[in-house]
Amino acid sequence: MLFDSSRTAMHRTLLKIRRLLKAHSIVIPPAATPPAVFTALQARVRAQSDNPNSMIKTTC
C-alpha cells in the first residue's frame, strides 16, 4: 500500500485526475529522462535489495 491507500482507491483517483485534466485541456508531456531524484532513489533501492537483512521483498 502506498500512503495507506488501497490499489483500487489509487486507481480511481488517477482516473478522476485524468478526466479533470482532459476537461480543462491540460496536457502534461512525459519527461524525456527521469529526474535525478529518481536515479538516486533507484540506486538506494537496489543497494537495499542486495542487503540480506533488508525488509524489501522482490516480486520474483
H/E stretch holding 45: helix 36-49
Q: For residues 45 and 48, what is the distance between their CA atoms, to the nearest angstrom?
A: 5
State which residues form the domain around 28. 7-49
Q: What is the pLDDT of residue 24?
A: 95
> pLDDT by residue (tens digit) across 6-32?
888 889 999 999 999 999 999 999 878
Q: How far apart are CA 15 and CA 22, in angstroms?
A: 11
Tell me the C-alpha distance between 29 and 40, whole Å: 23
Within-domain flag for 58: no
32 lies in a domain? Answer: yes
Q: Give the residue from 14, 12, 32, 30 showing the smallest Cα distance to 22.
A: 14
pTM, two decimal places: 0.46
The domain total for the chain is 1
Q: Which residue has the higher pLDDT, 22 or 42?
A: 22
For residue 54, being part of any structural domain is answered with: no
- Assess contact for 45 and 56: CB atoms under 8 A: yes
Has residue 39 been placed in a domain?
Answer: yes
Using the predicted structure, report yes or no on whether residue 54 has a pLDDT greater than 80: no
